[in-house]
């Protein structure tokens, strides 16, 4: 799950590979107000993993295990609308977790035993090619220290 500055809550689904947008109604009951598939062309046995957001909340990044990709979604309107804009190679095998740090997306490859850093395009928000790789035994979670 990820919170948006607007107060919307984004929930990723592992097996159906979707992101749903939730918001409270007037009685403070949470309701689904939107959602979208992560990307067209996913493999039948793909599963979604982590959901991360850009610093400004304009983009969401979803890790997809199986095809080893990262889906980029643009947040639209008041935060209740999502649009799938790109599907790129994560640079790792079995991207279990990822984080966004400034202009970089760090992806933990559980099966490739490494962490890859991908530059985020400042205008499109889409991750680019791998800049660096670091060997790490079966990383499953990244926790920034600052």
What is the reported pLDDT for 146?
Answer: 66
What is the reported pLDDT for 41?
Answer: 86
Considering only residues 73 and 144, tell me which one the structure prediction assigns the higher pLDDT.
Answer: 73
- 33 by Cβ neighbours in 10 Å (0-12 / 13-18 / 19+) ranks as middle
Considering only residues 55 and 21, tell me which one the structure prediction assigns the higher pLDDT.
Answer: 21
Measure CA 137 to chain center.
Answer: 22
With 80 as the cut, is the pLDDT of residue 53 above it?
A: yes
- Percent of the chain at pLDDT > 90 equals 96
CATH class of 2-135: mainly beta
């Amino acid at each position: 799950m990820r919170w948006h500055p607007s107060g919307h809550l984004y929930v990723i689904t592992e097996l159906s590979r979707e992101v749903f947008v939730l918001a409270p109604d007037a009685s403070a009951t949470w309701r689904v107000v939107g959602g979208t598939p992560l990307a067209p062309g996913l493999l039948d046995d793909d599963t979604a993993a982590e959901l991360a957001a850009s610093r400004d909340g304009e983009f969401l990044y979803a890790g997809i295990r199986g095809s080893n990709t990262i889906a980029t979604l643009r947040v639209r309107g008041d935060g209740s609308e999502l649009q799938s804009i790109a599907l790129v190679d994560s640079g790792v095998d079995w991207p279990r977790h990822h984080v966004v740090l400034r202009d970089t997306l760090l992806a933990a490859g559980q099966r490739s035993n490494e962490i890859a850093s991908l530059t985020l395009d400042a205008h499109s928000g889409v991750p680019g090619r791998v800049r660096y790789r670091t060997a790490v035994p079966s990383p499953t979670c990244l926790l920034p220290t600052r």
